[in-house]
Every structure is written in structure tokens, then in C-alpha cells.
Structure 1
Amino acid sequence: MGRRVKWLTRRVDLGEIDAEIDKCRARGDVRYLNKLTAIRMLALGYERKPVLDAVRISERTLLRWVEQWNLGGFKGLKPGKGAGRPPKLSEEELKELDEDLAKSPRESGYDYDLWATKLVLFHVEKKFSVSYHKNSLYKLLRTIDSQNLPFF
């Protein structure tokens, strides 16, 4: 039998970890659940290989998770805010745009009966001082689940 892994330098309270695992299952947060499961298995004395197989990760990922646990405990394991460019429009502005698109273009001061892609792009730039490419506009409207998509 291989050697026992003794990587965890931070104390692991199995009761706390089990409670956190239950919360993850209820939320459907698989990523955080896998991290907690790996830490729990290591705390119980499992070797690396069974842990890697159970949560289907690489050894490098396991090492990173252990380091995150040792440095920050539960907070260290929780996923942070994703990287990337911040959105051009705030949540309130997106809601406002969706409300605008629910009205006819005439109600917003345009001489058209239907929202066309170019008109929506113009409206967004005029009202919010932000420009989008037409492909990005559709992605944007899908993120807010808009039922008010332009017709062409």
C-alpha cells in the first residue's frame, strides 16, 4: 500500500465540510462540490490516485486545490469572480434596454415600426454611449433573456 498523503496543513472539520457539501448539492454547484470532496477524501486519508479518479482532475489541479484550502479554507476554495472584460452595460441599463425594446421604435422617437438590428445598435449607442457589433448584440440580448429580439 502506498504512503498516506499528509498535504493538508489546515485543520479539516468533517462536520463542517459535510454541511458545505450538502449546500453545494442543493445549489447544484458541481465545481465547488468537487473541491470539497477532494479535500474531504484527503482528510480521511485517501491517497492521491483515488481522489484524482473520484473527482476526475489532474494532479496539478489537486495540488492547487490543496494549496487554496491550506491558505484560505472554505473561502480559498470558493470560486472567485471570473476573469474577463467587464460588461459595457450595467444590469439596470440592460433592464432599461429590454423595456425599450418591448415598446415600438416609434415610442422611442424613431420613424420605424419594427426594431431592426441596426436600429437597436443605433439606439444603444445613442442612449448609453456604448457601441456593439451586431453579433455581440444578439449575445447580449440572449444573456438578459430578452423576448424582444430585433427582426433582422
Structure 2
Amino acid sequence: MTWMRWGEQRMRAVDMFETGCRQVDVVNALGVTAQAASRWYHAWPSGGRDALVGAVRLGRRPRLSDEQIGQVEAALLAGPKAHGFATDMWTLARVADVIERVTVVAVLGDADVAGAAGAKARLDPATTLCDSVA
């Protein structure tokens, strides 16, 4: 979930708290962790909405836009063979290659691919992703 979507989730949680919903209701309705709902619930009475607005994004901006991430996800879901690879196994090198082809954003190393590898595992947990070179 992007940092902007977390802000939207926090504001939805405030709306729910204001109508009398419990933390567990927020967890179930918004799909957030119990820990997040608890933090929001305890910050809300003392600071209201302002307490949950969230900080300005810290750190460097993501190299891929949400649209590009969607394009990469769609490409990964098509499978390795759809991109000319001989087998149906994803490797970090293959994921990096697909990211570069789809987005024209250079991948500098395995650390840059880690997020994409995690995204692939979330999309299709049954898919094997290994770090060996294919």
C-alpha cells in the first residue's frame, strides 16, 4: 500500500471511530492490522483528525509510479514464458529484466528487485521465485 493510501485509510478509520465503530470493525472493514487500528484509535481522542493526518513522506521518492507498478504486476502475472524465458520460474534477474523492459527504469541490483519480488509473491504465492540466475 502506498503512503498516500495509508493516509486515506487513517481518515476512513477516523470516520468509523466517530460513528462508534470499534477497532476490530476498522480492522475488518479496511483490511489493516490490529496494531495500526489500535495506534489510530489511541491517537484519535487526544488529537482528532490532525493526529492521524500523518507525516510528510520522508526519504527518496519511489522510482516507479503507481501506474508503472501496475504495469509491472500485469507483466509478472503473464509469467516468465510470456517474456521469452524458457521456464516458468521467476528469478531476480528475470524480474529485473521485465521491470526494465516495461518501465524503462534501470534496475541497479538485487536490492532494487526485492520490492518487485515481494509484490510477485503477494500476487501469486504459489509461484516460485528464486535468486539464482536462469
TM normalised by structure 1 equals: 0.49
Distance of 1:132 and 1:23 partners within structure 2: 46
The alignment's C-alpha RMSD in Å is: 3.1
**Pair 1:79 & 2:53 matched:** yes
Residue 95 of structure 2: aligned partner:
120
Distance of 2:76 and 2:128 partners within structure 1: 8
Deviation, structure 1 residue 139: 3.1
Paired residues in the alignment total 100
Residue 135 of structure 1: aligned partner:
111
Deviation, structure 1 residue 121: 0.8
For structure 2, list consecutive stretches of 5 or more residues without a partner in the other structure. 1-16, 28-36
Q: Give the greater-gyration-radius structure (CA).
A: 1
Deviation, structure 1 residue 150: 3.0
Distance change >3 Å, CA 105–CA 88, structure 1 → 2:
same
| Kept after mapping to 1: 8 A contact 2:90/2:130 | yes
Distance change >3 Å, CA 143–CA 85, structure 1 → 2:
farther
Residue 31 of structure 2: aligned partner:
none
**Pair 1:101 & 2:99 matched:** no
Residue 16 of structure 1: aligned partner:
none
Runs of 4+ aligned structure 1 residues displaced above 6 Å come to none
Distance of 1:31 and 1:151 partners within structure 2: 36
Q: Deviations over 1:39-98 (max 9, x none)?
A: 2xxxxxxxxxxxxxxxxxxxxxxxxxxxxx4xxxx3311132543333222333323322
TM normalised by structure 2 equals: 0.54
Distance change >3 Å, CA 123–CA 151, structure 1 → 2:
same
Residue 52 of structure 1: aligned partner:
none
Deviation, structure 1 residue 34: 1.1
| Kept after mapping to 1: 8 A contact 2:92/2:129 | yes
Distance change >3 Å, CA 143–CA 22, structure 1 → 2:
farther
Distance change >3 Å, CA 118–CA 20, structure 1 → 2:
same
Residue 151 of structure 1: aligned partner:
130
Distance of 2:79 and 2:117 partners within structure 1: 17
Name the SS for the 1:22 alignment partner: coil
